[in-house]
Amino acid sequence: MIPLKYNARNLVVRWKTTLMTASGFTLVVAALVVMLAFVEGVQKVCTTSGEPENVIVLAKGNNDEVFSQIDTRLASELENSRGVGRNDAGVPLASREIFLVVHRRLEQEGVFKFLQIRGVQPIAFDVHTQIRIIDGSPLRASQSEVIIGKGVQREHQLNVGDEIEMGRKSWKVAGVFEAGGSAFESEVWADLPELSSQFRREGVYSTMVLRTEGPEAAKELMTQLESSRSISCNPKTEPEYYAKQAEQTQMITSAAWIIAWFMGIGAIFGVMNTMFAAIGQRRKDIAVLRIIGFKAHEILISFLLEAILISIIGGFLGIGFGMSVNGFSRSTAIGAAREVAFAFSVTEGSIIFAACFSLAMGVVGGLLPALSVVRIQPLEALR
Amino acid sequence: MSDAIVTVDNCTKTYSRGAERVEVLKGVSLQILRGEFVALIGPSGSGKTTLLNLIAGLDQPTTGRVIVAERDISRMDESQLARWRTTAIGFVFQFYHLIPVLTAYENVELPLLLLNMTAKRRREQVLTVLHLVGLQHRLTHRPGQLSGGEQQRVGIARALVTDPALVVADEPTGDLDGRKKEEILDLLENLQRGLNKTILMVTHDHVAAARAHRLTRISDGLLLEERADTKEEALALAFPDAKIRGND
Ligand SMILES: Nc1ncnc2c1ncn2[C@@H]1O[C@H](COP(=O)(O)OP(=O)(O)OP(=O)(O)O)[C@@H](O)[C@H]1O
Ligand SMILES: [Mg+2]
């Protein structure tokens, strides 16, 4: 076998070309890693959001809380459905909620951001058991208070004691909560009656969340509601509902894939061009190797490895750059008008995938030039 | 078993360029004995390189046979020839043709990578031949850091490293002059004398030709019988004006 140092040193000798060619791979691989980290991050939020015991009920024909409207009559019917749990005081574990999205201007940055607001009753904290106050105090009714998810705290730079304008009045941030990384962390929670009156939404709810004994019971309740003739609504288990929301990031993902493919084709042509040039410049080397006794296919492999080496260098840098987004928090729009805070999550799987993608590009780009080596006639090349 | 390392038996070589056919060798027969240092001389375009390539297994004769070290190489295919060349033939080129990115040591080691050999054995062998050509202190130099004469010595070391039956050299001093040329010729002569190497050298330089044991002249695709009893007479025939040049 022709020693790899032969290829490595040639790459070093023409290091500018090497770096330029490799940078194509870096770009593609970095983009891939970031994209996969984005998808992974959003998916993580959406799959951790929602407890399998909970059934979220929206109005018939609605798939998103923002547009859903449930009236009081339907709400009480749902509340009394078979399978809905009760707390120690015998109150049904049914949370009537309204969900609003407003724009809020961030003074410092001068930009508008979505603010998702959920109006809840005290029972909500028995239904959504993931909620934990991590700073300040719990929500009190009728006190013009809100509690905010830690995603909101970060994105909107709000803290306990700050005031937020919502509706026609100002609300005080009483506490900050976390919710196991779920979408709730991107929300502001306020007292339901107080919020309804501010936004003139009295007597109408967006959703109703029913807590059952367990995942099985939740599924049962869901089918029961679906098949019920007297109740007309759109029930889903919470995990299902949020998984559905994650699907909407598919658009972004597809677009990113298309871009990655095009950049990939660019990188392939780049390495092809570089390798054709390299082979042209090293015809004499090739001739001598052949004369000494190396076979055409051994030289082919050597040049293919050189292309792969470029893809490894580029891919390595790309993975490095891509990984730097790991843990970086952003928010993204999912669903109709909802912004969810998520953290880019670079997984082992996506690194392996990106590395393989880079290698594959190297092989594809290097193959044609390497095959051309076979056609070089040693005696002609030395003349 | 004959003492001939090389037997060229009535070989012809015809190149066809489109409709045009060029008969470069028109029936050549030649024997080279073990341990001989033969110079192949002749005018430019007479077919010297063509004949050398046939003997070295780089090309096939159109008709006729070439037997080297008891093997009929005119019957071998390219894949067989490639491996055969590694051990049977050492190549020395006019323009050295070293791999620029490899060191002197690595260039010489290259042919050994094709053989089943431990790293230790390889190292011994490479150092031995580099010592032989007097470059033991230039192991890590790249060709670009060596003079022409030194590069050619690396080239010779590379040709010797597999201990081939035959060393072929096409104008080995063609790119060198003066003392450098003499040094390379000394080296080739010593290889023949000290190690009993068989050398076939193509040259059109009378100084180089004078170092060989035997002169074989090719003209217009045919080997000429020199009708000379001694090498000196052959030289005088081959290079009629060499005497005058030799005197100044
Ligand atoms: N591959 C080829 N195709 C066609 N013609 C060729 C080929 N190789 C050599 N020739 C022709 O064969 C003839 C002999 O070539 P060769 O290289 O053997 O000459 P030479 O004696 O080595 O000359 P020089 O001293 O200039 O090196 C030349 O006329 C050359 O043009
Ligand atoms: Mg020639």
* Residue B248: per-residue pLDDT: 36
Answer whether A3 sits within 8 Å of B113, measured CB to CB: yes
Last residue of a domain, one of A185, A211, A237: A211
Instruction: Tell me the pLDDT tens digit for each residue of A1-44.
Output: 899 999 999 999 999 999 999 999 999 999 999 988 988 888 88
> Which pTM value belongs to this model?
0.82
pLDDT of residue A336: 55
How would residue B228 be classed by pLDDT, with cut points 50, 70 and 90? low
Residue ranges near ligand 2 (ion) with Cβ within 5 Å: B 49
Average pLDDT of B159-185? Answer: 92
State the pLDDT confidence band at B243, using cuts at 50, 70 and 90: low
Is the domain of A58 the same as that of A200?
yes
Interface test with B, best of A12, A15, A288 (most B CBs within 10 A): A288
Q: A66 and A154: one domain?
A: yes
The answer to whether residue B202 is domain-embedded is yes
The candidate with the shortest Cα–Cα distance to B83, out of A290, A352, A66, is A290
Confidence class for position B244, pLDDT limits 50, 70, 90? very low
**ipTM of the shown complex:** 0.92
Do residue A201 and residue A260 come from a single domain?
no
Is residue A162 a part of any domain in this protein? yes
Residue B188 Cα, ligand 1 centroid: separation in angstroms?
25
Question: A307 with A359, same domain?
Answer: yes
Percentage above 70 pLDDT, chain B: 94
Shared domain for A162 and A99, answered yes or no, is yes
Mean local confidence (pLDDT), A298-325: 96
A260-309: per-residue pLDDT in tens? 899 999 999 999 999 999 999 999 999 999 999 999 999 999 999 999 99
Decide if A235 is inside a domain: no
Q: Are residues A257 and A370 in the same domain?
A: yes
pLDDT at A251: 78
- A158, A187, A211: which is the final residue of a domain? A211
Contact B152, B158 (CB under 8 A): no
DSSP codes of every residue in B160-228: HTT--SEEEEESTTTT--HHHHHHHHHHHHHHHHHH--EEEEE---HHHHHHSSEEEEEETTEEEP---
Atom of ligand 1 nearest to the CA of B51: 18
| Mutate-to-test residue for ligand 1 from B23, B40, B50, highest number of ligand atoms within 8 A of CB | B50
B55 belongs to a structural domain: yes
Strand ranges for B82-142 from DSSP E: 89-92
pLDDT at A244: 79
Stretch A237-265: mean pLDDT, rounded? 83
Residue A37 domain-assigned? yes
- Total domains in chain A come to 2
- Determine the pLDDT at residue B245: 46
Tell me if A216 is assigned to some domain. no
- Model confidence at A202, pLDDT cuts 50, 70, 90, reads confident
Give the total number of structural domains in chain B.
1
Decide if A284 and B97 are in contact by the 8 Å CB cutoff. Answer: yes
Asked whether residue A155 is domain-assigned, the answer is: yes
| Mean pLDDT, range A165-172, rounded to an integer | 89
Q: Which of A100-104, B146-150, B240-244 has the highest mean pLDDT?
A: B146-150
When CB atoms are compared, the residue of B53, B102, B111 closest to A293 is B111
Q: How far is the CA of B56 from the centre of ligand 2 (A)?
A: 14
User: What pLDDT sits at residue B213?
Assistant: 87
* Residue A103 and residue A31 share a domain: no
Which protein residues are within 6 Å of ligand 1, measured from CB?
Answer: B 15, 17, 22, 24, 42, 44-50, 204
- List residues of A whose CB lies inside 8 A of any B CB: 1-3, 5-6, 9-10, 13, 284-285, 287-295, 378-379, 382
Could you tell me if A66 and A131 lie in one domain?
yes
Would residue A336 count as lying in a domain? yes
Residue B246 pLDDT: 42
Structure tokens at B240: 């009629």
**Residue nearest (by alpha carbon) to ligand 1 atom 25:** B44
Q: Which residues contact A63 (CB under 8 A, 6 or more apart)?
A: A234, A244
Structural tokens at position A382: 């030395």
Share of chain A above pLDDT 70, in %: 98
Is residue B248 in a domain? no
Residues A196 and A256 in one domain: no
CA closest to A9 among chain B residues: B101
Can you point out the beta strands (E) in chain B?
Answer: 4-17, 20-33, 37-41, 63-68, 71-72, 89-92, 166-170, 198-202, 214-219, 222-224
Does A190 lie in the same domain as A60? Answer: yes
- Angle separating helix axes A15-48 and A348-372, nearest 10 degrees: 150
A173 and A84 both lie in a single domain: yes
What CATH code is carried by the domain that includes residue B211?
A: 3.40.50.300
Residue B192 placed within a domain:
yes
Q: What average pLDDT does chain B have?
A: 90
Is it the case that residue B247 has pLDDT exceeding 50?
no
Res. A337: pLDDT tops 80: no
A335 in a structural domain: yes
Residue where a domain stops, chosen among A211, A227, A262: A211
Q: Helical H runs in chain A?
A: 4-13, 15-48, 72-79, 124-127, 150-155, 192-199, 215-227, 238-247, 250-281, 283-292, 296-323, 348-372, 378-382
The confidence band for B232, taking pLDDT boundaries of 50, 70 and 90, is confident
Q: Quick one: A122 and A164 in the same domain?
A: yes
Closest CB to B97: pick one of A6, A288, A295. A288
At CB < 8 Å, which residues of chain B contact A?
53, 58-59, 79, 82-86, 91, 93, 97-102, 106, 110-111, 113-114, 158
Tell me, what's the pLDDT at A338?
67
- Ligand closest to B51 (CA) is 1
Percent of chain A with pLDDT over 90: 64
Residue B89 lies in domain: 4-238
User: Which tens digits make up the pLDDT trace of B58-115?
Assistant: 999 999 999 999 999 988 999 999 999 999 999 999 999 999 999 999 999 999 999 9
Of B13 and A332, more confident: B13
Which domain, by its residues, includes A367? 4-47+247-382
Contact predicate B192/B37, CB 8 Å: yes
Residue A226 lies in a domain: no
Residue B244 lies in a domain: no
**pLDDT higher for B52 or A245?**
B52
* Element of type H or E holding A211: strand A207-211
pLDDT at A310 over 80: yes
Non-local CB neighbours of A89 within 8 Å, separated by 6+ positions: none
Q: Does residue A182 or residue A75 have the better pLDDT?
A: A75
What pLDDT is recorded for position B18?
Answer: 83
Average pLDDT, chain A: 90
Nearest to B238 by CA among B214, B190, B175, B247: B214
Helices (H), A135-177: 150-155
| pLDDT-based confidence at residue A166 (cuts at 50, 70, 90) | confident
**Residue B201 within a domain:** yes
